[in-house]
Amino acid sequence: MPDSELAARITFFAKTDKAERPSQSAEAILVERILAGDSEAFAELHKAFAPLVHGIVLARVPRDEVDDIAQEVFLSAYRSLHSLRDKSAVGPWLAMIARNRATEFHRNVRPADELTEHHSRRERPTAEAKEILATIRSLPEAYGETLVLRLVEGMTGQEISERTGLKPESVRVNLSRGMKMLRQKLGITE
């Protein structure tokens, strides 16, 4: 038997260990599909990460600006997706873009006349919801962002961890401490 044939047989029967060949994450596969031109893949990415982006932006900017800024985040991500180094870290990358866009909003905001209720067609949150959101925004950013993702966007602790790149323990601590601070500021006793 020639050496090349023997080598081929050995290679064929060689042990294939999953630890030796890491598989791509679902996010990395989705990013690859987008980069390959799959038009539906970006819609899937948007659907999967829209609550994350919306929650992060909502924790930082006025409610009337959230939808526009969230849209800007996804436009920016679409344009620069090719620059993403770790394709499996798309969630933390989108979270960073959302935080940066919210910061840019505050740098560029100009005082404007507030629309009266007659001119606004958007659904208005109740006074209680506005007070709670304002109180959440007054908390340290890590707590406020995590609380908005949990309470407003309805994400579980595990989802928050997976999408933001935070460790599950950090999410639990942020939620626990954030809820404690929120209750104290709202005067809610247990």
Instruction: Please tell me the predicted confidence (pLDDT) of residue 186.
Output: 87
Nearest to 142 by CA among 101, 170, 110, 108: 170
What are the backbone angles phi and psi of residue 20, rounded to the nearest 5°?
-75, -30
Question: Would you kindly state where each structural domain of the chain is located, as residue ranges?
Answer: 25-110, 126-190
Specify whether domain 126-190 bears CATH 1.20.1290.10: no
Dist CA 24 CA 106 (whole Å)? 37
| Helix, strand or coil, per DSSP, at residue 60 | coil
Using a 10 angstrom Cβ sphere, with 0-12 exposed, 13-18 middle and 19 or more buried, the burial of residue 138 is: exposed
Tell me how far apart the alpha carbons of residues 21 and 41 are, in angstroms, rounded to a whole number.
25
Q: What is the pLDDT along the chain (190 residues), one digit of tens a residue?
A: 455 554 444 444 444 444 443 568 899 999 999 999 998 999 999 999 999 999 999 999 998 999 999 999 999 999 999 999 999 999 999 999 999 999 999 888 655 544 444 444 445 567 788 888 889 989 999 999 999 999 888 999 999 999 998 999 999 999 999 999 999 998 887 6
For the chain, the straight-line distance linking the first and the last C-alpha, in angstroms and rounded, comes to 80
Q: What integer pLDDT is reported at residue 3 of this predicted model? A: 53
**Domain 25-110 carries which CATH code?**
1.10.1740.10
Closest CA to 157 of 96, 149, 45: 149
Q: What is the pLDDT of residue 168?
A: 94
What pTM value is reported for the model? Answer: 0.70
- pLDDT for residue 129: 81
Q: Compute the distance between CA of residue 172 and CA of residue 114 in angstroms, rounded to an integer.
A: 38
